[in-house]
Structure 1
């Protein structure tokens, strides 16, 4: 166990970017900055061909850095690019996806918009549940609803949860205080004024200093 695994860890969400090479450079820089548990690569509005090329470029970078590469979108592409896992946003697809891909791949679930939906997702026993939207970092802080759901979930369910943070890296601390195992960031890292590497470095320092320790 690394020292980071006893507190909330960072998950990166790759932003939407037309220039795949520039995106790859930013991702490589971010991963050089310190501990990252996993990276979610969303499809956004890309067609299958564009998304596959982007995933083929990014997945080796993620895996070489020791993080888990998660595809949010087409499960066929996840297979072709040898992803570590799938992030499923449509709850109706979750059971089928899990039957097909676990335990070969990590399968995580988004779409937990309220407690009822979260419990429905929990019945399928995914590897994690995600509170918030992958592109939901529109304010400096994490969404209050996501924080409330995470605090409720972490207090009663063993399945790990990931919470989407805000555009400010400091938003990781309120997320960690809910008991969530992971905090996801996108703009806070990839649009950081000093660059993605500094962002990840600063965020890990913050978490090391201020995040509660599990089991403490």
Structure 2
């Protein structure tokens, strides 16, 4: 296990950009900044055709950089774009359906884990990961305290990895890492100024190298 794999890693949540060329450029730049485990592409308000075009353009860029491309939206788009997996934004029923249809060939994770009960219900389905927070939940500088509490509880007792939505500040990665979460999701913190995306990814990795606790092998 490498040192990067032995501590909390970054999951990028793509910003809301409608044009495929613009999204591809922004994501490509961000991935130059250093280690990123995966990139989630939300559908936002794009129609199915536009989202598929965007995904087909961006997924190869993500995969070329060694990260997993996860689609949050129309599951048919994930298959057509040859993505690595699906990020489920719904609750138990949506997760169960996605796992039945796409696992184990594709990564399936996410869920709407709002409390311990719903998290445990999702965990019984054995997804690849649980997500605490919302993909657009980075509305403050720091991560939501409830999500940090859930992650700390979850990481201490469940083997399924968890992802916590970080805040708008790059320094929020340290707060997430200290909870024991395996992954921290970043959106605004990296993409608020697209020209600085690579720099922000590099800074986040440097903070994690310095401050993130190491997992046991």
Task: Tell me how far apart the structure 2 counterparts of residues 35 and 142 of structure 1 sit (CA, whole Å).
Answer: 21
Change (3 A) 1:164 1:15: same
Runs of 4+ in 1 over 4 A off after TM superposition: none
Matched residue of 1:169: which SS? Answer: coil
Task: Tell me how far apart the structure 2 counterparts of residues 72 and 196 of structure 1 sit (CA, whole Å).
Answer: 21
RMSD of aligned residue pairs (Cα, Å)? 1.2
1:126-158 Cα shifts (integer Å, max 9, x gaps): 000000000001100001111011001001111
Give the superposition deviation at 1:193.
Answer: 7.6
Corresponding residue for 2:169? Answer: 168
Task: Tell me how far apart the structure 2 counterparts of residues 112 and 41 of structure 1 sit (CA, whole Å).
Answer: 19
Give the superposition deviation at 1:93.
Answer: 1.6
Paired residues, number = 216
Task: Tell me how far apart the structure 1 counterparts of residues 82 and 182 of structure 2 sit (CA, whole Å).
Answer: 25
Unaligned runs of 5+ in 1: none
Q: What does 1:1-216 align with in structure 2 at a 5 Å threshold?
A: 1-91=1-91, 92-192=93-193, 195-215=196-216
Task: Tell me how far apart the structure 2 counterparts of residues 208 and 12 of structure 1 sit (CA, whole Å).
Answer: 17
Task: Tell me how far apart the structure 2 counterparts of residues 138 and 40 of structure 1 sit (CA, whole Å).
Answer: 18
Give the superposition deviation at 1:18.
Answer: 2.7
Does the Cα contact within 8 Å between 1:10 and 1:182 map onto a contact in 2? Answer: yes
Matched residue of 1:149: which SS? Answer: helix
Task: Tell me how far apart the structure 2 counterparts of residues 8 and 161 of structure 1 sit (CA, whole Å).
Answer: 10
Task: Tell me how far apart the structure 1 counterparts of residues 59 and 115 of structure 2 sit (CA, whole Å).
Answer: 31
Unaligned runs of 5+ in 2: none
Give the superposition deviation at 1:73.
Answer: 0.9
Give the superposition deviation at 1:194.
Answer: 5.9
Matched residue of 2:181: which SS? Answer: coil
Change (3 A) 1:193 1:127: closer
Give the superposition deviation at 1:2.
Answer: 2.7
TM-score by length of 2: 0.96
Give the superposition deviation at 1:22.
Answer: 2.0
